Structure 1
Amino acid sequence: MLERLKYPIGKFECPDTISEDHMNNWINDIKKLPKEVIDLVNHFTEEQLETPYRNGGWTARQVIHHLHDSHHHGYIRFKWTLTEESPTIKAYYEDRWAELFDSKKAPIQLSLDLLKALHAKWAYFLEGLSFNELQKHFVHPEGNIKISLAEDIGIYAWHGKHHLAHLQIIADSKG
């Protein structure tokens, strides 16, 4: 049960070959995520915003702020990868960021507005990348793993749906 609450849509599985359809679907997922999140949480009560999606998990408010923080990092990683040769990205302690004052107390509208603007620009940017640019990669310092931009688009599309599912758990449990 805990695993289902942690990963309500399962873990990301990258296809062996990333097709144009995969790319189009993933970019569309990135493009539409802000509206889906806003539509879901727009009428959340303070109680819902302070409710974790699982015991020991983040509250709805923390998840919403995390989505912007994480996806902002993602956008910047794309820029680094296209302007540097196989950069090692800067990882961050997302669990510690989620405990910071703004993640625990700030109005969600701040991150919702940022997420909406970020995703509009990010999707526009992604739609303009060439096949060769999508093959470029960065190195994630945790495990020294090489990740292509094509794969990372899939990861962020999954990540958005993953946390949207967490917010849906809260919506379903708190009416």
Structure 2
Amino acid sequence: MKNNLDIEKLKFPIGKFHRPDPITENDLETWIATIENFPSKIKKLTETLSAEELNWIYRPKGWCIKQVVHHCADSHINSFVRFKLALTEEVPTIKPYEEGLWAELADSNSNDILPSLQIIEGVHARWVLLLKSLGSTELKRQFFHPENLKISTLEETIGVYAWHCNHHLAHIEQALLHKGQF
């Protein structure tokens, strides 16, 4: 890949998240289905990979497949907690985390991705149960993200995390397609 446009496409293979306005009931149903199906999709993509394949990167200076899987477990745990905070507190300030630094820790560099796949499966089962229970008032609940100084609604965040699921599935597919050769 030669230029910045190519790097941008490798970094965001499905593009960046774009919030529809308004967010419809159909959008929410589609997004929740994406979140619900993510555990089986990521497991199917990764369950037979060798240690060598788990270490393939999806772009120059990008994470390897195992780091993507471990990141999804970390990120989705954090998101689930943020939903619970927003549902039980008035516009709580959420705790950001340094995902790049987390990706360098020993647990994020383990070739054993099974614990992260199990986390994803468990968190998503509970998360989807929660998401399907939300009414229109709860979907408008908000949290404040101090890193980007933004207030987000839960309905928008459902879309962001459906995108996040597909974004990282595309990263894994990209690494497999190119056999980590960047």
| Letter of the 2:33 counterpart | N
CA distance in 1, matches of 2:93, 2:126: 24
CA distance in 2, matches of 1:141, 1:106: 33
CA distance in 1, matches of 2:71, 2:37: 17
Alignment match, 2:39: 34
CA distance in 2, matches of 1:147, 1:162: 20
Runs of 4+ in structure 1 over 3 Å off: none
In the alignment, does 2:20 pair up with 1:46? no
* Residue correspondences, number: 175
| Letter of the 1:57 counterpart | G
Alignment match, 1:12: 17
* C-alpha RMSD of matched pairs (Å): 1.0
Alignment of 1:24-173 (within 5 A): 24-173=29-178
CA distance in 2, matches of 1:73, 1:157: 15
Query: Do the aligned partners of 2:56 and 2:176 also contact (CA within 8 Å) in 1?
Result: no
CA distance in 1, matches of 2:100, 2:32: 26
Any unmatched runs of 5+ in structure 2?
1-5
- Once the two structures are superposed, residues 105-140 of structure 1 have per-residue CA deviations (whole angstroms, 9 ceiling, x without a partner) of 251001001101111111011000010000011011
- Once the two structures are superposed, residues 34-65 of structure 1 have per-residue CA deviations (whole angstroms, 9 ceiling, x without a partner) of 10001111111111111111110001000000
TM-score normalised over the length of structure 1: 0.98
Alignment match, 1:22: 27
C-alpha deviation, 1:143, in angstroms: 2.6
CA distance in 2, matches of 1:121, 1:44: 27
Q: % of aligned pairs identical?
A: 45
CA distance in 1, matches of 2:74, 2:64: 15
TM-score normalised over the length of structure 2: 0.94
User: Which SS does the other structure have where 2:92 is aligned?
Assistant: coil
- Once the two structures are superposed, residues 61-105 of structure 1 have per-residue CA deviations (whole angstroms, 9 ceiling, x without a partner) of 000000010000000000000110001100000000000000012
User: Which SS does the other structure have where 2:97 is aligned?
Assistant: coil
User: Which SS does the other structure have where 1:86 is aligned?
Assistant: coil
User: Which SS does the other structure have where 2:19 is aligned?
Assistant: coil
CA distance in 2, matches of 1:148, 1:155: 11
